[in-house]
Amino acid sequence: MSMKAVARVRCIRVGPVLVSARMSRFYYTNSQQGKVSRVLTDLVRSRQLLVDLVWKDVRVRYRYAAMGFLWAVLEPLFMMAVLTLVFSMFMRMSVPELGVFTPRHYAAFVLSGLIPWQFLFSALGAATRSLVEGRDLVKKVYFPREVIPLAAIGVALVNLLIGAVLLLGLFTVLMGQFPGSGLGWVAVIFSIQFALIVGLGLLLSSANAYFRDVAHMVDAALLFGFYATPIFYWQSLVEEALPSWAYTLYTLNPMVGIVHAYRLALFESSEPIAPLLVGPALMAVCALVAGVVMFRRNTATLADNL
């Protein structure tokens, strides 16, 4: 089996941007590239490349935008305003479970589901296409290929952090109070959502490198998922409208439990949060394991299929 040398590389040009990729001199066979046990070690060695790729994508996205990073705040804000106008003011939708009846309270309700959903939407969409769009970088030099989809998720994470600041600020203004002790649950919920996104991102990006239809299927699934996730409505509405077997299928969507748990944490409901996270946590672990294993199994032949 032929050996593949990884030379010390100072920088790589990706479009108009130079990305540093300092790596030590290591040698890999195809079998070594596919070892799951090397994932963490390889990613730690390539952490600077990961940071550079995230920063490069963030700069490219906002470099020539007059409003810059403000767009990361305006996009969810505009969507919140539209959903609040349509469903709260025109259709008179309310959330009696939380005592939410006014448009300003409903706006906080929508934003608390919209921001985590947009993180999933942007991260999965970008990660799925990341290897195909970054084919030039993949073919130039060897580095852990997981860096490419993880960098795409990292860009979405930057937007999420900006959106989270917006959420906390607007939540305090709209609800008249700062989220209380329930904020401690947010870190737990986010860790489950992040693991789910990383696992699916690795799995889907690897599959899309071989079958380009995967990206289109993901777009369709995310469009359907927006309505199949309780973003602008409360989960009990679905439970009342569907038969028990259909509602069980509905709850197989992990974002149902995740979004519901975020809301309970922010609105400090008396409903327990932990039971909602059992299903999403199991799905996140399965997705992460499957994503890492499948990605590593296909690593050696990725460049040939791109």
Q: What is the DSSP string of 259-275?
A: HHHHHHHHHT-SS-SHH
18-22, 129-133, 253-257: the lowest-pLDDT one: 18-22
User: Which pLDDT score, from 0 to 100, does residue 163 have?
Assistant: 76
Q: Which of the four pLDDT bands, split at 50, 70 and 90, describes residue 137?
A: confident
Q: What number is the average pLDDT over the span 261-284?
A: 86
User: Which pLDDT score, from 0 to 100, does residue 166 have?
Assistant: 76
Distances in whole angstroms, Cα of residue 19 to Cα of each of 10, 39, 51, 159: 9, 22, 10, 21
Higher pLDDT, 108 or 3: 108
Per-residue burial over 267-302, b if 16 or more Cβ lie within 10 Å, else e, is beeeeebeebbebbbebbeebbeebbebbbebbbeb
Query: Are 7 and 28 contacting, i.e. CB atoms less than 8 angstroms apart?
Result: no
Sign of CA dihedral 251, 205, 155, 199: positive
In Å, how far from its chain's centre is CA 264? 21
User: Which pLDDT score, from 0 to 100, does residue 182 have?
Assistant: 75
Of all residues in the chain, the percent with pLDDT exceeding 90 is 30
Predicted confidence (pLDDT) per residue in 221-259, tens digit: 999 999 999 988 888 888 888 898 899 999 999 999 999
User: Which pLDDT score, from 0 to 100, does residue 31 have?
Assistant: 57
Tokens read off for 297:
């199994």
**Res. 287: pLDDT tops 90:** yes
Predicted confidence (pLDDT) per residue in 113-125, tens digit: 888 999 999 999 9
Distances in whole angstroms, Cα of residue 46 to Cα of each of 24, 52, 146, 147, 148: 10, 10, 10, 8, 11
Q: Dihedral, CA atoms, 258, 262, 263, 269, nearest 10 degrees?
A: 110
Query: Are 300 and 34 contacting, i.e. CB atoms less than 8 angstroms apart?
Result: yes
Any idea what DSSP says for residue 46? T
Cβ of 48: how many Cβ atoms within 10 Å? 13
Any idea what DSSP says for residue 65? -
Higher pLDDT, 33 or 216: 216
> pTM to 2 decimals?
0.84
Place of tokens 């590239």: 33
Cβ of 13: how many Cβ atoms within 10 Å? 11
Highest mean pLDDT, choosing among 37-41, 129-133, 198-202: 198-202
Name the H helices within the chain.
Answer: 30-33, 39-45, 47-62, 70-83, 103-133, 135-140, 147-175, 183-210, 213-227, 235-241, 244-250, 254-267, 274-298, 302-305
Cα–Cα distance measured from residue 149 to residue 39, given in angstroms and rounded to the nearest whole number: 14
Cα–Cα distance measured from residue 196 to residue 120, given in angstroms and rounded to the nearest whole number: 9
Higher pLDDT, 94 or 78: 78
